[in-house]
Amino acid sequence: MVCRAEGTDLLTVAAGSPKRSGKSVLLVSPEYKGVTESWFCPEFWQEKARPVTSGGRGGAWFIDTEPSGMVLRHYRRGGLMAHLAEKTYLFAGFDQARSLAEFRLLGQLRSLGLPVPEAVAAIAWKYRLFWYQAAILVKRIPGAVTLSDSERLSDKSLWVQLGQVIRRFHDNGLDHVDLNCDNILVAGDQIYLIDFDRCKLVPESDNEADSAWKQRNLERLHRSVRKRCPALSAVQRDDLWQHLLQGYQRQP
């Protein structure tokens, strides 16, 4: 992975700044000092960078820093497009860059009190004439494992709680287009959602048709549970899913 498009200029701006110039943009949370684009290269961290081996499409590393560490993720395509352009995306302006959009969305979700990781920094590099590459750094959640790796996987109360958490996100308008077992983290008695690439906040509406995205989120997760939780029998999966729906339908 090239951590910087050759010969580009770099602009570092504060979180949420509307300024745009040069061929690269780096957004940094005000709570973090000294972030440079080198931070987005796993080689920079040497032995402190460890590849994430569970879930996802690769291109992610745990960065062992104090106090709790970070997660570095390079944006990669999935599906057929990955064979043509695995790490590059069509450039339509930095406002459309996926890493910068996710950085800002994480800030919005945290301001709503939703359980998401804290964004550290995000970068987008314009690559050649019509393409860009992107990466993001987020604070690691101590002790967190994916839903399918959780020791509490067969615990019915966990699934009720998960349904309630998803309902909180939906009630705040968050359309998580890739809601799956790998993007749900369990840390002790807390549940977090992660990886908000291409996700968005949907404006509130009374139109029932506008709520179809909520059902798509749940259906996407249901497919993932059937695929990513082989330790559970089909009967167990069906029963636990009903507990998730009970939690989801329960009014706050």
- Whether residue 144 is predicted with pLDDT greater than 50 in this model: the reply is yes
What is the structure's pLDDT at 127? 78
20 or 34: which carries more pLDDT confidence? 34
Token pair belonging to 136: 């993001």
Look up residue 79 and give its amino acid.
Answer: G
What is the structure's pLDDT at 2? 47
Instruction: Tell me whether residue 238 is one of the annotated catalytic residues.
Output: no
Going by pLDDT thresholds of 50, 70 and 90, the confidence category of residue 93 is: confident
- Whether residue 208 is predicted with pLDDT greater than 80 in this model: the reply is no
Least-confidence region, from 50-59, 150-159, 161-170, 195-204: 50-59
Selecting among 155, 171, 178, 239, the annotated active-site residue is 178
6 or 172: which carries more pLDDT confidence? 172
Using DSSP's 3-state secondary structure scheme, residue 61 falls into strand
What is the topology classification, in CATH, of domain 145-249? Transferase(Phosphotransferase); domain 1 (1.10.510)
Taking residue 170's Cβ as centre, other Cβ atoms within 10 Å add up to: 18
Mean pLDDT over residues 180-203, rounded? Answer: 97
- Whether residue 30 is predicted with pLDDT greater than 60 in this model: the reply is yes
What is the structure's pLDDT at 250? 84
Task: Give me the phi and psi of 139, to 5 degrees please.
Answer: -70, 135
109 or 93: which carries more pLDDT confidence? 109
Using DSSP's 3-state secondary structure scheme, residue 96 falls into helix
User: Are the C-beta atoms of 26 and 12 separated by less than 8 Å?
Assistant: yes
Sign of CA dihedral 94, 98, 103, 107: positive
Peptide bond into 67 cis (omega under 30): yes
